[in-house]
């Protein structure tokens, strides 16, 4: 049997490595006018960079770059299913890993807008059966990764039990049970630690406040509302056989490509692993910052800095990008994305990934109307692409 990374070595769908700290400088006039920088056009620097990585089998997936709603660059490389020789294409759906948290954050914001959820209220207001150390965290703490709850993937026995779950209901209830029995890393508000557990509980709050399952709520009020027709939480049986869905791939101990489908949970959670196409993620980003998912005030509440994030640690097997450029003027944790002030404009982003073959990044620039989506079914493949694109969009 080929060796592969241990389930217990994976700390979940983390991958929130902000590239905002990597590139800064004055905003280029070409990005704010009608002319598109040559480096972003077909055949330009970004296109060549991704094609070269794909030729060296270091990138498989799709990217989409749009400006003012028009496609600037759209590319797909590599295979969605190596065994069946199905190539990646513009309609291929990829596991989003932690980018899924953006959907959860928007769902919470919608319910807050309706008065059904309040950011100052405690977990115990909405969910019963939690010890005081967890019940005392607020919705604000959960959204900003300041609850101290950490990551349920790293809890002893989680992956063994998760392997037995065969329905979305079991996944939600089982994961919540592990979090209920966990010990926080610190008191709510006393620090910042990226928290899959916190975002899972936000999903449970969405269900409790809406009277619907988390999955049904997000399908109806986020995916459908944004016109995301190829986005869903896809169960493992469908992921095995559907040619429209990319299989994740990682290198085993012998350096051979291995299919990571069986290593992941039965279905995604509020913390990670919805499936989407690049076009759908572009629609989501534009609906969000153009105030079509939330009223203006609540959009501003989501896309505004709340706390200074800590230094994120990539999952095992992922390499952080080099810190070789001038730093951004400001980097803040918002309600979901990271917000960065770079060259005088705010940029919002979220990434995701795991060692079994998912690497994703979404960036959007509301002031200059750019959206970048990079979805890969190779581990640790999206950040470098997003980093280069940022430099070309903003100007260094």
**Residues 6 or more apart whose Cβ sits within 8 Å of residue 170:** 266
In the block, residue with structure tokens 């400006």? 67
3-state secondary structure (DSSP) of residue 297: helix
- Cα separation, 7 vs 4, whole angstroms: 9
Instruction: Count CB-CB contacts under 10 A for residue 45.
Output: 16
User: Cα separation of 388 and 49, whole Å?
Assistant: 9
Rounded Cα distance, 354 and 219, in Å: 24
Sole residue written with tokens 């300041």: 146
Least Cα distance to 128 among 77, 172, 80, 176 occurs for: 176
Tokens 């959907």 belong to residue: 103
Angstrom distance (rounded) from CA 357 to CA 249 = 4
Question: Under 8 Å CB-to-CB from 259, ≥6 apart: which residues?
Answer: 82, 83, 247, 248, 249
DSSP state of 382: S
DSSP conformation letters of 43-90: TSHHHHHHHHHHHTTS--EEEEEEETTEEEEEEEESEEETTTTEEP-T
Catalytic residue status for 98: yes
Which helix (H) or strand (E) segment holds residue 300: the answer is helix 296-302
How far is residue 164 CA from its own chain's centroid?
Answer: 25
Both structure tokens of 77: 């490389």
Tokens of 114: 């309706």
- Per-position DSSP letters for 135-149, written without gaps between them: HT-BHHHHHTT-SS-
30 Cβ contact partners less than 8 Å away, ≥ 6 residues apart = 36, 37, 395
Q: Which residue out of 6, 28, 76, 98 is catalytically annotated?
A: 98
Task: Decide: helix, strand or coil at residue 278.
Answer: helix
Active site (catalytic) residues:
98
């Amino acid at each position: 049997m080929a060796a592969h990374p241990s389930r217990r070595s994976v700390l979940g769908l983390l991958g929130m490595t902000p590239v905002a700290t990597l590139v800064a400088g004055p905003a280029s006039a070409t990005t704010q006018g009608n002319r598109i920088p040559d480096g972003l056009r077909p055949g330009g620097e970004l296109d060549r960079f991704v094609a070269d990585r794909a030729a060296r089998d270091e990138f498989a997936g799709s990217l989409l770059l749009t400006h003012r709603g028009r496609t600037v660059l759209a590319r797909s490389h590599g295979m969605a299913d190596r065994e069946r020789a199905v190539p990646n294409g513009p309609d291929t759906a990829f596991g989003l890993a932690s980018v899924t948290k953006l959907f959860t954050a928007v769902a919470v914001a919608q319910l807050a807008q309706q008065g059904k959820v309040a950011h100052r209220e405690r977990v115990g207001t909405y969910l019963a059966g939690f010890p005081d150390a967890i019940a005392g965290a607020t919705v604000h703490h959960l959204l900003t990764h300041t609850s101290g709850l950490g990551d349920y993937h790293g809890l002893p026995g989680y992956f063994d039990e998760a392997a037995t779950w065969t329905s979305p209901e079991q996944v939600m209830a089982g994961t919540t049970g592990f979090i209920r029995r966990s010990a926080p890393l610190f008191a709510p508000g006393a620090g910042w630690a990226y928290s899959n557990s916190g975002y899972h509980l936000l999903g449970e709050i969405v269900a409790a406040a809406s009277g619907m399952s988390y999955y049904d709520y997000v399908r109806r009020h986020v995916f459908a509302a944004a016109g995301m027709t190829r986005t869903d939480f896809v169960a493992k049986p469908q992921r095995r056989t559907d040619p429209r869905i990319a299989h994740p791939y990682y290198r085993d101990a012998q350096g051979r490509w291995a299919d990571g489908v069986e290593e992941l949970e039965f279905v995604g959670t509020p913390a990670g692993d919805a499936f989407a196409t690049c076009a759908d993620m572009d629609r989501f980003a534009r609906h969000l910052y153009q105030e079509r998912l939330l009223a203006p005030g609540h959009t501003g509440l989501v896309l505004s800095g709340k706390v200074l994030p800590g230094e994120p640690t990539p999952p095992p097997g992922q390499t952080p990008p080099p810190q070789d450029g001038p730093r951004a003027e400001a980097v803040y944790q918002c309600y979901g994305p990271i917000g960065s002030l770079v060259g005088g404009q705010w940029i919002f982003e979220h990434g995701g990934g795991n060692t079994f073959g998912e690497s994703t990044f979404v960036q959007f620039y509301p002031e200059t109307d750019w959206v970048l989506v990079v979805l890969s079914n190779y581990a640790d493949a999206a950040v470098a692409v997003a980093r280069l694109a940022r430099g070309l969009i903003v100007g260094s």
